[in-house]
Amino acid sequence: MSSTDPGRRPETPPAFILGSGITALGVFRILGRKGIPVLSLQARPGFEKRSKWFERARETGLSGTSESVAECLRETHHEGGVLIPCSDEFALETASLDDDLSQRFRSCVPPLETLELLIDKGKFHERLVSKGIPHPTTHVVDDPSDFASLFDTKRPRYFIKPRLSHRFRQEVGLK
């Protein structure tokens, strides 16, 4: 059902899906089945474009490099809607929107400072330490030389996560 489908309630504001992949597909399906118009802002959508509820918000979309969410929203003909970020990167951009866009396009993301704390594993670790909150042993690795200290310990098994997952994925191509 597209947003032009006669079964859709015209007063329902559209949901703008920010992101691609399995999370975006799930959002398209869940909201589309409820009759909520769902629009993609992606320039190159993934397999979610095969969903029967998929629709582009405009001809050109987010390329992920040159155009920001704010620029896309300013150029859309829609007066408002709800933003649903499907990645850390888009959640950060959504939380960074200016007051005008935040009023026109609602979202359910925490304040930028909170989001940055939760997404950046190094900042999160620092906060846990500063507040005396128990947490697993954590080694923050900011450059390759920091890896050497990991192998000097008596605990040979590690669960390794990048400090910023979305940047790691962009640079390395792995999750």
Residues in contact with 54: Cβ distance below 8 Å, sequence separation at least 6, in sequence order: 28, 38, 40, 45, 48
Distance, C-alpha 73 to centroid of its chain? 16
How much is the pLDDT for 9?
A: 56
How much is the pLDDT for 106?
A: 94
And the tokens for 135? 């947490």
Checking if the pLDDT of 170 tops 60, the result is: yes
Residues in contact with 144: Cβ distance below 8 Å, sequence separation at least 6, in sequence order: none
pLDDT band at 14 (very low <50, low <70, confident <90, very high): very high
Taking residues 105-134, report their average pLDDT: 94
3-state DSSP call for residue 83?
Answer: strand
Taking residues 103-131, report their average pLDDT: 94
Q: Please provide the average confidence, as pLDDT, over all residues in the chain.
A: 82
DSSP string, 35-77: T--EEE-BSS--GGGGSTT--BSSSS-B-SSS--HHHHHHHSS
Taking residues 52-66, report their average pLDDT: 66
Cα separation values, 56 from 16, 39, 126, Å: 9, 5, 41
Taking residues 75-84, report their average pLDDT: 89
DSSP string, 103-147: HHEEE----HHHHHHHH-HHHHHHHHHHHT---------SSGGGH
Cβ contact 55:78 at 8 Å: no
> Domain locations in the chain?
15-114, 120-172
User: 15-114: what CATH class?
Assistant: alpha beta
Cβ contact 29:54 at 8 Å: no
How much is the pLDDT for 60?
A: 56
Residues in contact with 37: Cβ distance below 8 Å, sequence separation at least 6, in sequence order: 2, 3, 8, 12, 13, 14, 15, 55
Report pTM: 0.77
